């Protein structure tokens, strides 16, 4: 890496790390890669996604940073492995030591070249004998072999580092899936919800929470079995995911209950969104493959609350859950609070 490239990378580092600290993003290689490329502006769609997230939510949370890494940079590693290697391995101490060793060997080789070419220059000046000249050449050949072996070793270390990066990516894929995604519905899970809720609460900007619960879900399982129940959960999750626009995020909260974070929207607008989701749920139809019967009586209840700008996220969840309970108590298939 040239001095100019190193200086540029250092400059990007100084810009990226404060942003990560500001948004409380752990300084791990994947997250660093996201913010490094953001300040370097090397991937315009990534910059657009981050800026749009900041505009809509006022922050960029840990979960969002992870999603952006897998959306934009995991594939980037495959397309341009050398570039990804330079960025990711810059934080690996073992590989850094290998680079230092290689540079040291190169310096020794350069000293050897200078010394032996200096001796060869004496042939004309001092008239070295043939034996002395051959001795200089033999030393040059021997030391050239040494640097060649060092170079081959360094190339082997690079190859090993590339394999480690591929293995790390696979491990991160699995970790991300287990940590943040619900395997049944493909939605973000309860852990991811809590992280995003905390991040939105810190911004001080308006947002609302919707809790949705499939009505009489136990009856589906009792009458048709758990396989159909899983189909209903997946169908409902897809219907909610279709509404995830303008920064709206959907999570499987637990069981048949789902959470929807709506940044930048007040209670009235979020209630309108919940009402549109309630009507869309009424149109759901799921085929029971075992009996051939089609289930088209799926409904859901919704509770909505707006963050007051000061409360803890758990308090907002409790207030929203109270509204959901009222919706169930009043007969289900409705949104609470009632329209203003």
Strand order across the 335-336 sheet: 249-254, 257-263, 207-214, 300-306, 335-336
Measured CA to CA, the distance from residue 65 to residue 23 in angstroms comes to: 10
| Residue 195 near residue 63 (C-beta atoms within 8 A) | yes
Measured CA to CA, the distance from residue 119 to residue 295 in angstroms comes to: 92
The catalytic residue positions are: 256
Q: Which two tokens mark 140? A: 């040059």
Backbone angles phi, psi at 299, to 5 degrees: -135, 170
| Residue 288 near residue 295 (C-beta atoms within 8 A) | yes
Measured CA to CA, the distance from residue 253 to residue 311 in angstroms comes to: 20
Q: In a 3-state reduction of DSSP, which class is residue 304?
A: strand
CB proximity list for 338: less than 8 A, separation 6 or greater: none
Measured CA to CA, the distance from residue 288 to residue 230 in angstroms comes to: 11
Q: Checking DSSP bridges between strand 257-263 and strand 249-254, what pairing results, if any?
A: antiparallel
| Residue 241 near residue 281 (C-beta atoms within 8 A) | no
| Residue 253 near residue 259 (C-beta atoms within 8 A) | yes
């Amino acid at each position: 890496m040239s001095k100019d490239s190193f200086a540029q990378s250092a400059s990007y580092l100084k810009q990226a790390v404060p942003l990560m600290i500001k948004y409380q993003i752990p300084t791990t290689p994947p997250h660093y890669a996201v913010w490094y490329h953001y300040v370097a502006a090397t991937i315009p769609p990534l910059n657009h996604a981050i800026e749009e997230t900041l505009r809509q939510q006022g922050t960029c949370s840990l979960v969002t940073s992870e999603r952006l890494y897998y959306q934009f940079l995991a594939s980037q590693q495959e397309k341009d492995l050398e570039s990804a290697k330079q960025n990711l391995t810059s934080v690996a101490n073992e590989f850094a030591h290998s680079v230092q060793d290689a540079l040291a060997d190169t310096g020794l080789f350069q000293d050897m070249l200078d010394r032996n070419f200096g001796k060869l220059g004496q042939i004309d000046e001092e008239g070295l004998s043939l034996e002395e000249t051959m001795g200089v050449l033999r030393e040059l050949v021997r030391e050239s072999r040494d640097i060649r072996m060092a170079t081959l070793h360094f190339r082997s270390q690079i190859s090993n580092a590339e394999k480690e990066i591929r293995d790390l990516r696979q491990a991160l894929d699995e970790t991300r899936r287990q940590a943040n995604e619900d395997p049944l519905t493909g939605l973000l899970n309860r852990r991811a919800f809590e992280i995003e809720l905390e991040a939105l609460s810190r911004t001080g900007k308006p947002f609302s929470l919707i809790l949705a619960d499939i009505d009489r879900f136990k009856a589906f399982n009792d009458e048709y079995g758990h396989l159909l129940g899983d189909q209903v959960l997946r169908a409902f999750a897809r219907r909610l995911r279709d509404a995830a626009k303008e920064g709206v995020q959907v999570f499987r909260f637990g069981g048949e209950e789902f959470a929807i974070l709506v940044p930048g929207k007040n209670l009235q607008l979020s209630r309108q969104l919940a009402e549109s989701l309630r009507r869309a749920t009424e149109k759901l139809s799921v085929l029971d493959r075992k009996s051939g019967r089609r289930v088209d009586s799926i409904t859901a209840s919704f509770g909505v609350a707006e963050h007051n700008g000061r409360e803890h996220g758990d308090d907002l969840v409790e207030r929203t859950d109270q509204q959901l309970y009222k919706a169930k108590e009043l007969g289900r298939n409705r949104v609470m609070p009632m329209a203003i």
